[in-house]
Amino acid sequence: MTTAWQVFLLFIVRITTAKNLSNTYIYYLVTVQISYTESYAEKLCQLKMSPVIAVMGDESTDLHMRSELSVCFRYLTSAADPAELFYQLAPLTGTDATRITGVILKILADAEIPMDRIHWLASDRAANMSGRKTGVQAQLKKHWKMQITFIVGVTC
């Protein structure tokens, strides 16, 4: 799995090489990255073991008119402490509910997140996310056969 951090690390290595920064500095950056990657893998494992999971999604369009979907998870650790994990910033080919739903389902399948433990969906109150009949929430409820307990709309 390629994460954004792996891409970021390659970017940092290119910059540090181009700017002739010391090997000690590069070693420090790589060490920080490796420890973060191991921590990320632990969090992903805890997420998959959690009895309850919330999916948080928010679509946005950047300055270059590229649409992206930010996906985060909230879950309980083995010690029953709440935790949050930023998972992915996924590109979108469109911002309609059907395409966003497809991306969310693909992310969940690729990450092997147990769908039977997802009980919440949090998003902004945009019509494509919260529409009762054709919004992302409605499509996910149909897909999961009404398994989602709470739909949370957050206004920022």
Residue 139 has pLDDT above 70, yes or no: yes
pLDDT over threshold 50, residue 2: no
Tokens coding 64: 């270059």
**115 and 68 co-located in one domain:** yes
**CA 47 – CA 42 distance, rounded (Å):** 9
Check if the beta carbon of residue 9 is closer than 8 Å to that of residue 30. Answer: yes
One domain, residues 75 and 134: yes
Q: Residues 64, 41: one domain?
A: no
CATH number at residue 82: 3.30.420.10
Do 37 and 5 form a contact (C-beta atoms < 8 A)? Answer: yes
What's the domain range around 22?
A: 4-45
Judgement on whether residues 37 and 60 belong to the same structural domain of the protein: no
| pLDDT of 104 | 92
68 and 101 both lie in a single domain: yes
Q: Which residues of 56-71 are buried (b: 16+ CB within 10 A; e: fewer)?
A: bbbbeeeeeeebbbeb
* pLDDT exceeds cutoff 50 at 48: yes
> What are the Cα distances from residue 133, in Å, to 87, 104, 105, 130, 141?
27, 18, 18, 9, 10
Q: Residue 4 has what pLDDT? A: 54
**Domain check: are 68 and 136 in the same one?**
yes
With 0.85 as the threshold, say if the pTM is over it: no
Which two three-digit tokens encode residue 43? 């969090």
pLDDT of residue 118 exceeding 80: yes
More confidently predicted of 29 and 112: 112
In total, how many domains does the chain have?
Answer: 2
Instruction: Name every residue whose Cβ is closer than 8 Å to that of residue 119 and which is 6 or more positions away in sequence.
Output: 52, 53, 54, 147, 148, 149, 150
Q: Tell me: do 81 and 141 sit in the same domain.
A: yes
